[in-house]
A and B are shown apart, each in its own frame.
Chain A
Amino acid sequence: MEDSDIIRLYKSGQPERAFTFIVRKYGERLYWHIRQLVADHNDADDILQETFIKVWNALPAFREESKLYTWLYRIATNESLTFLKRKRLRATFTFRDPDADMASFIESDPLFDGDQLQLSLQKAIATLPPKQKSVFIMRYFHEIKYEDISEIMGISVGALKASYHHAFNKVQEYLKKEGY
Chain B
Amino acid sequence: MNQQHDIHDDPHLKRNPFKAPEGYLESLEEKILSLAGIVQNEEVREVVTSSRGSRWFNVLKPALLLACTFGVIFGMGYGVLRLTGTLNKPSDTEDSYYAKMIEKGLIRSSFIYPIEEELGYEDFDDEEPVFDEEEVVTWLATQYSSMDLAQLYYDEK
Contacts and interface: CB of A to CB of B under 8 A. Distances in A.
Interface of A: 15-17, 19-20, 23-24, 27-28, 31-32, 35-36, 39, 41, 45, 48-49, 52-53, 56-57, 109, 111-114, 117-119, 121-122, 140-141, 168, 171-172, 175-176, 179-180
A32 B24 CA distance: 12
Contacts of B15: 114, 118
B7 A121 contact: yes
B25 A16 contact: no
B39 A15 contact: yes
Contacts of B83: none
A39 B33 CA distance: 24
B18 interface: yes
A23 to B, nearest CB: 5
Interface of B: 1, 4-5, 7, 12-21, 24-25, 28-29, 31-33, 35-36, 38-41, 45, 48-49, 52
Contacts, number: 95
Given A16-B40, A32-B18, A56-B38, 12 more contacts: A24-B29, A31-B28, A36-B16, A41-B18, A53-B35, A56-B45, A111-B21, A114-B15, A117-B12, A121-B13, A175-B4, A176-B4
A179 B2 CA distance: 9
Contacts of A114: 15, 17-18
A48 B32 CA distance: 9
